Amino acid sequence: MVFPHLGSMPNKEALRLVTYCGLHCGLCAQRARIPKQAVQLQETLNTEGLEDFYQYAPDIRNAFPEFKRFLEKLARFDCSCRVGTGGSPDCKIRNCARSRNVEVCALCSEYPCPRIQPMADRYPLLLTDGKHMKEIGVERWVEEQERRAKSGFSYSDIRHPRKQHGST
């Protein structure tokens, strides 16, 4: 597949942190914020000395080893829908993009399609960013997203929450 503004497929390095649906992983709190916060909490717990803390909350002593393992996993969290370590294993968007040999949905001739709409409902920048990606190319778009990430922006700052069962 050839893209007039790119000349060919986007390079793999540019795509490394771009999901098939068109989000940039560097703007995801699960990748950009939570691991850093987990490391910070680990450091604080170590600096403050847990033994002293247990005297005020002895009931957490038994739960702490499991919490500590969980915190260690959060600190190392690294997902990628490109290699199958992130997102649903049966993601319809990823499966569709792969079947069409499209690296990012925004580069598909049918973009936006009904498959992407649930994501767009949750991530208000998705469609606008996708159209912008198509206009300027993946490499330039990634550079812009990296600047966004350096500013501290995260999708969670503006993402619409999922509706919970029983809530209005």
Q: Which mean pLDDT values do the consecutive 10-residue runs of the chain (168 residues) have?
A: 44 81 87 87 86 74 86 84 72 91 93 92 93 93 93 84 52
User: What pLDDT is recorded for position 84?
Assistant: 64
Burial 52-82 (b: 16+ CB within 10 A, else e): eeeeeeeeeeeeeeeeeeebeebbeeeeebb
User: What pLDDT is recorded for position 17?
Assistant: 84
User: What pLDDT is recorded for position 10?
Assistant: 63
pTM for the structure as a whole: 0.73
DSSP annotation of 24 reads B
User: What pLDDT is recorded for position 85?
Assistant: 64
The C-alpha atoms of residue 128 and residue 106 are separated, in whole angstroms, by 10
The C-alpha atoms of residue 9 and residue 79 are separated, in whole angstroms, by 23
User: What pLDDT is recorded for position 72?
Assistant: 92
DSSP annotation of 87 reads S
